[in-house]
Copies of this chain bind each other. A is one copy, B any other.
């Protein structure tokens, strides 16, 4: 009946990986990972080339979900400004969860200081995609310099995520949305 018990080893591995890497960092270890996923190391090493590739795959797998999380359900009615604010409202909501640890993609980039790591490439991709989404809305909204505004929004997004994740800031009072509102105003966005 329930499909829950029938997840493939691959899926169980990727799900456990995403969870453990996020909660405990990238240095979790193959041993703990496989134990948590209920998969033997042998199976893992014939599904993935290495631990590094596993990490990259688990990030890639979460990507669609992560981006959907930040994308407003498209009602043609909402303005570019609204669509941008939606992203930051979601960030503020997510950061309220007790197990929030910041953006997993930024965290991976910080922890793996190696820019050549396969997982770093995935993380950069996700970041670039978000930024280009901001730029698109900035253009639609008539910002004076859409690319500049998009980069500013990314500073706020990553700064807010990191600080909330590290528990040195709380976004509960609308700090992020307030800040980006000021920046969009300053950029002449309607």
A32 at the interface (CB under 8 A from B): no
Contact across chains for A159 and B169 when beta carbons are under 8 A apart? no
Interface centre among A107, A127, A152, A178 (most CB of B within 10 A): A152
Residues of A within 8 A of B (CB-CB), count? 42
Neighbouring B residues of A182 by C-beta, 8 Å: 152, 182-183, 186-187
Known: A154-B159, A158-B159, A182-B182. A166 touches B106 (CB 8 A): yes
Neighbouring B residues of A111 by C-beta, 8 Å: 25, 110-111
Contact across chains for A169 and B183 when beta carbons are under 8 A apart? no
Neighbouring B residues of A148 by C-beta, 8 Å: 175, 178
Neighbouring B residues of A159 by C-beta, 8 Å: 154-160, 162
A151 at the interface (CB under 8 A from B): yes
Contact across chains for A175 and B155 when beta carbons are under 8 A apart? yes
Neighbouring B residues of A106 by C-beta, 8 Å: 110, 162, 166
Q: List 9 A-B contacts (CB under 8 A).
A: A23-B113, A102-B110, A124-B168, A148-B178, A151-B169, A155-B160, A155-B175, A183-B183, A183-B186
Other 19 A-B pairs with CB < 8 A, given A109-B168, A127-B168, A182-B182: A25-B111, A101-B113, A102-B110, A107-B110, A110-B110, A128-B168, A155-B155, A155-B159, A155-B169, A155-B176, A156-B156, A157-B159, A158-B159, A158-B162, A158-B163, A159-B159, A159-B160, A162-B162, A186-B186
Q: Which residues of A are interface residues toward B (Cβ below 8 A)?
A: 23-25, 27, 101-102, 106-107, 109-111, 113, 115, 124, 127-128, 148, 151-152, 154-160, 162-163, 165-169, 175-176, 178-179, 182-183, 185-187
